[in-house]
Amino acid sequence: MKFIFVTGGVMSGLGKGITSASIGLLLKSCGLRVTSIKIDPYLNCDAGTMSPYQHGEVFVLDDGTEVDMDLGNYERFLGESMSQANNITTGKVYKKVIEQERRGDYLGETVQIIPHVTDQIKADIHKVAQDTHADVVVIELGGTVGDIESMPFLEAVRQLRRELRKDSLVVHTTLVPVLKAVGEAKTKPTQHSVKELRAIGIQPDIIVARSEHPLSGDTCRKIGLFCDVAPEAVIGAPDARSIYEVPLILEQQGLTQLLSEQLQLGQQMPQLSEWNLFVERVTQPTHQVEIALVGKYTDLSDSYVSYEEALTHAGAALDAGVKIRWIESDLIQPDSLSGVDGIIVPVGFGSRGSDGKIEAICYARENNIPYLGICYGFQMAVIEFARNVLKLKNATSSEFDDQAEHQVVSLLPEQKEMEDLGGTMRLGLHSIVIRENSLANKLYCNPSIDERHRHRFEVNLDYVDQFESAGLIFSGRSEDGRRMEIAEYADHPYFIAAQFHPEFLSRPNQPRPLFLGLIHACLNEQSKSS
Ligand code: GLN
């Protein structure tokens, strides 16, 4: 079993996650069994309680764990589902250590960061490796070398390197900026961050340097000399047309060969023809559609990463490039949506911005614009229909007003009893039964599906008959029939909304039906009007 540690230097946001996912993809394409671990040095036990403003999207796994969005990239690049064990956080590690201490497991010892916390980190990494029977485990260390929070993890990596020797290596990601005035690629930030890593006792084996343009031979030699790695082990990560192109760019510089030589994996040749075709369809599409995404955190597109990816996958399958028009729901104007081919209202929490979203849904419904509502966008579609078609004035969700007369979206009794906010939503994979002769059935071609969830509120069962007799059909329901999962409106080119999150299961070459249906409908409407 081999271990690849990916650390980050200079600053965050250099694509360490994409580099790790790309390494995983390249090795998996050689036929090796690969798994990934993301280490998040923050004190939260999971990402569930974190604001998307601070940390980007919260990604949800099959088992309901709420994790960092990098796990989403691993799933999309590896084409495999991860579990809670694939995400290690300081909160999780300390919780375990403290529980063990309270149980008396340490037999009177003084419990310390070294060795008790570092032992726990190493044990957690080994457990994933053993449980998944992986040939290679790629471990991405969140944060930047030098952060106080990452210290125990880096120390664990140092110890593991010593224990594993040739069965492990370290890839360090850095930045090579070019100063416009002199036009010269600057290697000093890389030198400094490697110096910092070496001060902790870790010598990188490969350096992946983010840069605007490909690195010159001179730059690679200079970094190699100062950082004590072979010049061929300095790999450039220049700007790419799509994140999916990154593994191909790294491979052109011989990354798989470097990894297999250093880890003694034998002669390895990644089979990338399908991936290549996918990248071609993403980067050179024949058609174009524009989708409005009416959200609350649109300043930071990281908040909606999985939507962007799901749209890219669906577009690629239909040879269409998808441009997103980001609309901040609070600031929506009468002409904000004019000219878009389709509209999405995504995940959301709280009442701020809900009116703008309801306005956008009304616009989509009345003007025959293809609409896909997800989770909050499903609940808002139900509220819009209640207000404007059923004429239930002030219909709302109990999330916004729990005294309102018409709470068409509300809490199920079991949710009312929950006291903690962390990890208590309805999370993860649940089955949905699909009604015959419905749009949902046509899209999924299956009477029963599984999708991932993350919500607390649900459609109030008292109103279901009223909705259905006015034309809003609940074509997907939970197995016990108590939860409405899909709503669709037939008198429209494409109006569908889901309580679940199909974006979390969308992958390259495996687009999710609701997104595929949306792009298909957009292209159909375009061809009608041309
Ligand atoms: N706030 C809503 C709920 O808790 C919707 C959540 C979401 O969009 N993921 O049910």
pLDDT in tens, 109-122: 999 999 999 999 99
- Topology (CATH level 3) of domain 2-277: Rossmann fold (3.40.50)
| CA 60 to ligand 1 centroid distance, Å | 13
With a pLDDT cut of 90, the percent of the chain lying above it is 83
Q: Which residue has the tokens 């007003």?
A: 401
Is the pLDDT at 433 greater than 80? The verdict is yes
Closest Cα to atom 7 of ligand 1: 347
Is the pLDDT at 242 greater than 90? The verdict is yes
Is the pLDDT at 421 greater than 60? The verdict is no
501 catalytically annotated: yes
Q: Which ligand 1 atom sits closest to the C-alpha of 409?
A: 10
Q: Which ligand 1 atom sits closest to the C-alpha of 501?
A: 9
383: Cβ below 6 Å to ligand 1? no
Which residue in the list 57, 375, 406, 520 is annotated as catalytic? 375
Q: Which ligand 1 atom sits closest to the C-alpha of 349?
A: 1
| CA 348 to ligand 1 centroid distance, Å | 6
Confidence (pLDDT) at 48: 73
Strands (E), 72-213: 87-89, 136-141, 168-175, 178-179, 184-185, 206-211
58 forms bridges with which residues in the sheet? 68
- Domain 2-277 matches domain 285-529 at the CATH topology level: yes
| CA 180 to ligand 1 centroid distance, Å | 45
| CA 417 to ligand 1 centroid distance, Å | 17
Domain 285-529 in CATH 3.30.70.1520? The answer is: no
Is the pLDDT at 196 greater than 70? The verdict is yes
226: Cβ below 6 Å to ligand 1? no
161: Cβ below 6 Å to ligand 1? no
Confidence (pLDDT) at 333: 87
| CA 457 to ligand 1 centroid distance, Å | 6
484 forms bridges with which residues in the sheet? 477
Closest Cα to atom 5 of ligand 1: 376
| CA 297 to ligand 1 centroid distance, Å | 14
Q: Which residue has the tokens 């259905």?
A: 468
Confidence (pLDDT) at 429: 97
Which residue in the list 501, 520, 522, 525 is annotated as catalytic? 501
Query: Please, which pLDDT band fits residue 423 given cuts at 50, 70 and 90?
Result: low
Q: Mean of the pLDDT values across residues 368-378?
A: 97
Residue 37 neighbours by CB under 8 Å, 6+ apart: 85, 86, 87, 88, 125, 128, 137, 138, 139, 140
Closest Cα to atom 6 of ligand 1: 455
290 catalytically annotated: no
347: Cβ below 6 Å to ligand 1? yes
Residue of 505, 159, 530, 498 lying closest to 345 (CA atoms): 498
Is the pLDDT at 41 greater than 80? The verdict is yes
Q: Where are the domains of the chain?
A: 2-277, 285-529
Confidence (pLDDT) at 422: 58
503 catalytically annotated: yes
Query: Please, which pLDDT band fits residue 43 given cuts at 50, 70 and 90?
Result: confident
Query: Please, which pLDDT band fits residue 485 given cuts at 50, 70 and 90?
Result: very high
Residue 327 neighbours by CB under 8 Å, 6+ apart: 292, 293, 294, 295, 298, 336, 337, 356, 360
Among 16-25, 148-157, 380-389, 412-421, the range scoring the smallest mean pLDDT is 412-421
Query: Phi-psi category of 76—alpha, beta or left, where left has phi over 0 and alpha has psi -120 to 50?
Result: alpha
Q: Which ligand 1 atom sits closest to the C-alpha of 375?
A: 8
